[in-house]
Amino acid sequence: MPTSDPNSNLLISFIILLIIAGLTSYYAEQKGRSPAAWFVIGILIGFFAPLILFFLPNLKKDETNEASMKVYTPPVSGNSTPPAPPPRLEDENKLWYYLDQNHQQYGPVSIFALKELWDTGRLELTSYVWTEGMDKWEKVDNLPELKVALGKVQI
């Protein structure tokens, strides 16, 4: 039986160990884990490292799933006002009356027409409005729900 050189067997074992550690490092990077740490683990425990790594969850896949499930929320700055929510369905059916600067009565108009008057500047915070269910004419400034529906929210 031929005897082999123990130094050559040791060198071959070390090269195989480095190959296993390198492949483990590459596989770890594919699974979203630290390649350097898994290279060291591959050197320390040899062919068991890729087996352990095989059973660990893929962190890259988990990160992409979490990122796709997150809802984009734009940054809030102190100077901007949030967009006005659409009027509630019950408000959409109400008919409104309003007084111009000369106290001339106009109406009935829908909430959408009031919004158009607001956008064009013909309806202001000091304008008086009235709708069914109100006891008296009120200024737009005194009706928070109407200000929200018109898009004039004061924070």
The β-bridge partners of 139 are 128
φ/ψ of 148, rounded to 5, equals -65, -45
pLDDT of residue 62: 63
pLDDT of residue 63: 62
Residue 110 structure tokens: 């829908």
Containing 89, the helix (H) or strand (E) segment is helix 89-92
Give the C-alpha separation, 127 to 114, whole Å.
11
pTM of the model: 0.42
Strand 128-131 versus strand 138-139 pairing type: antiparallel
pLDDT tens digit at each of 155 positions of the chain: 556 787 888 899 899 999 999 999 999 999 889 999 999 999 999 889 988 988 888 887 766 666 556 655 656 555 555 555 555 545 677 899 999 888 899 989 988 888 889 888 899 889 999 998 889 999 989 988 888 888 764 43
